[in-house]
């Protein structure tokens, strides 16, 4: 995969903590950043796929066990 350099402006304390995390994981700050950004992209893609699935299910509708007949209205239910 081709890479491209990116310049970031981060608070000094955040940068310091991120460097420590990268060292603990045996990677570079760039590697750590790529890992987190990759995870964010995958999560977003997963969310979008789930959203598409639920919309498809909602358009199709759900079987309420009525075998095609309409459900009673609220008034009819309260008349019982």
pLDDT score of 17 = 96
pLDDT score of 22 = 96
Distance of CA 31 to the CA centre of its chain: 22
pLDDT in tens, the chain (80 residues): 798 998 989 999 999 999 999 999 999 999 999 999 999 999 999 999 999 999 999 998 888 788 878 888 899 888 86
Got the DSSP string for 4-50?
--------HHHHHHHHHHHHHTT--HHHHHHHHHHHHHHHHHHHHHH
pLDDT score of 62 = 82
């Amino acid at each position: 995969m081709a890479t491209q350099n990116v310049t970031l402006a981060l608070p000094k304390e955040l940068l310091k903590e991120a460097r420590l995390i990268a060292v603990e994981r045996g990677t570079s700050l760039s590697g750590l950043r790529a890992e987190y950004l990759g995870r964010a992209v995958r999560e977003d893609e997963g969310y979008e796929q789930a959203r598409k699935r639920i919309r498809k299910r909602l358009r199709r509708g759900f079987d309420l066990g009525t075998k095609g007949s309409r459900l009673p209205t609220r008034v009819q239910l309260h008349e019982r």
